[in-house]
A and B are shown apart, each in its own frame.
Chain A
Amino acid sequence: MGNRFGNAYGLTVLVPIKQGTANNRSFDKIIRDQLQRWPKHSGSPFALVPNTYLARAFLLQDVFYQGAPAVEEHLKNKYLVVTSNFFGDLDEYLHGMWEAISDALKTVLKHCYGFDQVVSAADFVLYIKKCKINNSLFFNGSNDRPLPEQLKALYVKQAFIHFAYLSQHFRYQGESGAINLQKSFKRFVALIDIHNLKGNSWPVAAVKVPTDIETTIKATIVTYQESIK
């Protein structure tokens, strides 16, 4: 029950890591080393997994002793902790993950208990479900639209703001202003193609604002030269 908030799903997974070493480094440290070397942003394996909003991975090495009078205890296993916030159905998501990045998954999970039996997407789904922790509470402070829609919305907002700023002067140009506003807006509508989530949109995991948004919007504004023709 605590895994959903609307259509958004909060997946929490703890994958137990085998005891053992390779090349004088224990398996859990190897996994952490790999994670830390994964490329970031659009190069991240998660970027290839459809409908992933935000995801993270880290090594849980041990629990923390709080100091007396608390009791000191330790984990017998290390765990690879993976959380993902995504849109949609869990099975579909995990299928999609396997289809997109099974190689990366195999590299990271090969030293985990039971993973050697995973050879197909179906196996992977079952495996993850065994490692899944059910949330007690999943809080969605954002929304639960599919990722392509969220990205399209970011693009549309940025585009609309530029359009609004660049077309404000039409407000003060009486009748011809209204005509030119409408003409410009028509071009704007064609450019942003608002219903088409696969058309112009905000790039996944973009760390720099795409510079072409402003320039392409500028081009939709009917210029003085054009209007007097």
Chain B
Amino acid sequence: MSNIAGKSYAMNVITPITGWVYYVNRIKFAAVQFSVSRKLGTTGFWGKLVPLRLAELIYDRLNGLLTLSLIHYARWAIIKQFPHIDESQPKEALKYHYMLFFSNFNGSWKQYVDSFHMAIPNGLDLLWYKNVSYPNSVPLQPFHKYITYNQVWTNHYYNAYPLAASNDIKGAQTLKDELEKFIDESDLDADPELFQIRFESLLESQQQNMGLLAATPIISLSANAVIEREA
């Protein structure tokens, strides 16, 4: 049982939210999700009528999260009603709605909650707006305690590339796309000196993607112990 698979950490958090806050949160998330689709150009006809500038006002609030660059994929889901799929299944009768948060990020939770909460405190407060007992993201200790208290440990975590951080995936894709273009446009049989000039130019354009991949640093001694147990 571990929340770690190579360079990625699986965080699962479930927190209660009260009635009316549910609606506020739905609208808030919908606005963000819409602005994402608008920015990516994947909305339907009506969506495209919304001016891009307006959507960008909201999309830019994700800027901090994107700049942190430590996340592979993350999601927020609000459960109004737990799935009820069979007559014989008891129906839940809950006072609260529940917000689920799942993230795959690089590093240990302890290390990165420290960075996140200083970099995007307003963003975090918006995402956990009025969740029951939410203490705000600054200062750190109550926030850290809140998230850890509501964390559910992962029983099985799968990562298709444990040796790759989110930055590695992104950088590799950029490099591959550029290299592919370069190969397709190169004459490998003539004019070696021209080729060399072009090659140097490619190298220079990709110099920020020149770090080799290797195993993750030991982010906690308990994680290390898990690795040693399994070796």
Instruction: Annotate A172-211 by CB proximity to B: 1 below 8 A, 0 otherwise.
Output: 0001011101100110010000110000001011111100
On whether the beta carbons of A154 and B183 are closer than 8 Å, the reply is no
Interface residues of A in 124-167 (CB under 8 A from B): 127, 130-143, 145, 147, 149-154, 156-158, 160-162, 164
Dominant secondary structure of chain A at its interface with chain B: mixed
- Bound Cα distance from A47 to B160, whole angstroms: 7
> For window 53-69 of chain A, which residues contact chain B by CB distance below 8 Å?
53-60, 63-64, 66-67
Interface residues on B, range: 35 or more
- Whether the pair B164, A164 counts as a contact (CB closer than 8 A) is no
Residues 57-107 of B contacting A (Cβ, < 8 Å): 62, 65-66, 69-79, 82-86, 88-96, 98, 100, 102, 104
Chain B CB count within 10 A is highest, among A15, A38, A113, for A113
In the complex, which of the residues A142, A149, A185 contacts B188, with contact meaning CB atoms closer than 8 Å?
A185
- Any A CB within 8 A of the CB of B141: no
Chain A contributes a number of interface residues (CB within 8 A of B) equal to: 96
* CB proximity to A under 8 Å, residues B169-218: 169-173, 175-176, 179-180, 183, 186, 188-189, 192-193, 195-196, 199-200, 203, 206, 209-215
Q: Which residues of A contact B89 (CB under 8 A)?
A: 16, 18, 77, 113
B224 at the interface (CB under 8 A from A): no
Q: Nearest residue in B to A83 (C-beta to C-beta)?
A: B102
B176 touches A54 (CB 8 A): no
Does A220 touch B at the CB level, under 8 Å?
A: no
Q: Is A110 an interface residue (CB 8 A)?
A: no
For A79, what are the chain B residues with a Cβ–Cβ distance below 8 Å?
Answer: 82-83
In the A-B complex, the 9 residue pairs with the closest CB atoms = A136-B29, A141-B71, A46-B158, A153-B172, A35-B155, A157-B172, A178-B192, A153-B176, A85-B73
